[in-house]
Copies of this chain bind each other. A is one copy, B any other.
Amino acid sequence: MQSGALSFLPLAEVPEVEPGADLAGLLRQALTATGEALADGDVVVVAQKIVSKSENRYVELASVEPRPEALDLARLCGKDPRVVELVLRESSEVLRVAPNVLIVRHRLGFVVANAAIDQSNLPGGAGRALLLPTDPDASAAGLRQALAQAAGANVAVLISDSFGRPWRLGVTGVCVGCAGLDALADARGTADRNGRPLQVTQIAVADQLCAAATLVGGEAAEGTPLVLVRGVSRNYLSVSRPASVLLRPREQDLFR
């Protein structure tokens, strides 16, 4: 790879991830099948879906009893009342209600449609839902530690999901869990060549890596579950800050 280049390599497909699966082991198998070995400075982007599956974040919709508020919201937005109940359980606040969508603040702090609950391509049929990992930053840290022990390499781990956004159409990859990398690099305090303080002060490094990673390995909306990123600047790797630092404090939120 040329100097200064950034590369995103899709790893070989993993088998269906079962609850309790050893993700670090699966990742190492995928690396071997791809003909790659981890090295210091590598960044691994792991799709939220396989992390949630390994943590058994499945919910059977038949087991969900909607509360009265969920029934009311379901009538307003046209969604399955049991899914609305799950959205409410996963959220701290409902910000907007529109046809087939509830924009909420997730209990983890993310503002996201339908609490990022996943119902696509799940094994066992359409009667199930898959929630975000309980603590994706902790999941990333655990996977990073397991890789350090097994592969002897100091790597970063990002857990990615695809979120919509206001004002612009289409989903983009975002980071919901991060370990071993500065999720939000800080350029504050620097000045430009005219001595003018730089207006752009923070760079969403982890989100930008997850964005490109979702484009790798074909054009499926869900992308490939494991992507190896090489060439990330050492400056971003010398500090480890979790994805939670990407959350804008509520008092700075101009669009509640």
Contact = CB atoms under 8 A, between A and B. Distances in A.
Given A5-B7, A193-B121, A198-B120, A170 B253 contact: no
A203 B171 contact: yes
Given A7-B6, A121-B194, A255-B96, A215 B219 contact: no
Interface string A170-183: 11111000000000
Nearest to A103: B254
Given A8-B6, A218-B4, A208 B165 contact: no
Interface residues of A, number: 75
A98 B209 CA distance: 29
Nearest to A249: B169
Contact of A222 (B120, B173, B200): B200
A162 interface: yes
A194 B195 CA distance: 59
Contact of A119 (B8, B9, B34, B196): B196
Given A10-B4, A196-B126, A212-B6, A254 B172 contact: no
A235 interface: yes
Given A5-B8, A221-B200, A221-B203, A169 B247 contact: yes
A15 interface: no
Contacts of A171: 200, 202-204
Contacts of A4: 9-10, 216-218, 224
Contacts of A219: 185, 187, 203, 233, 235-236
Nearest to A7: B7
A184 interface: yes
Nearest to A220: B187
Question: When A and B form their complex, which 5 residue pairs have the shortest distance between CB atoms, in order from nearest?
Answer: A170-B204, A212-B212, A111-B167, A211-B211, A208-B211
